[in-house]
């Protein structure tokens, strides 16, 4: 049988767990980006808002493989970090988000579904 102190501790852990889960990620903005022949970054209006500094981006790739860089230079179809269909990309610094650029590697465009916080 559980005593009163143990029940209170279990209840507190459950309440705190629910709070953490419910506030873990609430996107400020989302977008779908078509990655094709020209290197592209995130839409400026989606990552730059008055009084909001976006410091977290979460994206999932669909359609086709892409390459990307996080230093502001443009990747090419053969140079850059690879992102495969179904993989996720998580960026956690403002600089990486601002400097992100991607390009498709083959004949089919990739589609990045991204949310920002």
Angle at 20 between CA 117 and CA 87, to 5 degrees: 50
pTM: 0.76
The CATH number of domain 25-116, selected from 2.60.120, 2.20.28, 3.40.5, 1.10.150: 2.60.120
Within a 10 A sphere around the Cβ of 54, how many other Cβ atoms? 18
Instruction: Check residues 107 and 5 and name the one with the higher pLDDT.
Output: 107
Q: Which residues contact 39 (CB under 8 A, 6 or more apart)?
A: 74, 75, 101, 102, 103
- 3-class DSSP assignment, residue 116: strand
d(CA 102, CA 44): 15
Residue 10 zone, left/alpha/beta (φ > 0; ψ -120 to 50; rest): alpha
d(CA 107, CA 102): 15
DSSP 28: S
Structure confidence by residue, pLDDT tens digits, 9-62 = 555 444 444 444 444 557 788 999 999 999 999 999 999 877 778 999 999 999
Q: Is the pLDDT of residue 91 over 50?
A: yes
């Amino acid at each position: 049988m559980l005593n009163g102190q143990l029940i209170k501790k279990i209840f507190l852990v459950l309440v705190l767990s629910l709070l953490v889960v419910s506030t873990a990620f609430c996107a400020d903005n989302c977008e779908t980006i078509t990655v094709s022949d020209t290197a592209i970054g995130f839409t400026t209006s989606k990552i730059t808002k008055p009084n909001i500094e976006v410091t977290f981006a979460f994206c999932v790739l669909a359609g086709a493989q892409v390459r990307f860089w996080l230093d502001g230079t443009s990747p090419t179809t053969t140079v850059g970090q690879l992102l495969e269909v179904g993989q996720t990309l998580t960026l956690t610094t403002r600089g990486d988000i601002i400097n992100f650029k991607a390009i498709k590697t083959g004949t089919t465009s990739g589609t990045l579904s991204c949310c920002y916080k």
